[in-house]
Amino acid sequence: MKQRTKAMKPTLALAFLALALSASGCGGNANTQASHSTGMLSDENKHRLYSAALASSDSPRESEIFKTVCRKIGIFDAGGAPNDNYVTFVSAHVDWALKAENGQFKVEINSRDKARDYISKHLPQ
């Protein structure tokens, strides 16, 4: 039972963090349609780009690169505010980020420069 409790704590903490982040920026028009470019990206690529956007700055929520990535992956509206897809995506992202097989990718973007480079190479224009 202790192992299960220990394993659940990080998941619950990350889920809480994701919800807190989503609540802090949801003042925009949530009904605005997502960017049309999202159809070109797989869910895996969206999660990689989102991770890189988070790693690209000390204050990603305030950075233009984060807002641009979020618009391109379909979780922010054209005005830069979270849309109806945001909470669902961030919840799924918490699960994605906890998977051991994504560890190598995290190493690939372990600095701001590497994260920005990844975004510039992989974000559709």
pLDDT for position 39: 57
* Sign of CA pseudo-dihedral 65, 71, 76, 77: positive
Interval 69-85: pLDDT, tens: 999 999 999 999 999 99
Spacing of C-alpha 117 from chain mean position: 16
pTM for this model (two decimals): 0.71
- Got the DSSP string for 100-116? GGGHHHHHHT-SHHHHH
Q: Please provide residue 52's backbone torsions phi and psi, each rounded to the nearest 5 degrees.
A: -65, -40
pLDDT for position 61: 86
Interval 88-112: pLDDT, tens: 999 999 999 999 999 999 999 999 9
Structure tokens at 87: 């909470």
Structure tokens at 92: 């799924």
CA distances from 15 to 12, 35, 80 (A): 5, 25, 22
The continuous run of DSSP H or E covering 84 comes out as: none
Q: Please provide residue 34's backbone torsions phi and psi, each rounded to the nearest 5 degrees.
A: -70, 160
pLDDT for position 105: 96
The continuous run of DSSP H or E covering 61 comes out as: none
Average pLDDT (60-67) is 92
Interval 15-40: pLDDT, tens: 444 444 443 343 333 333 333 445 58
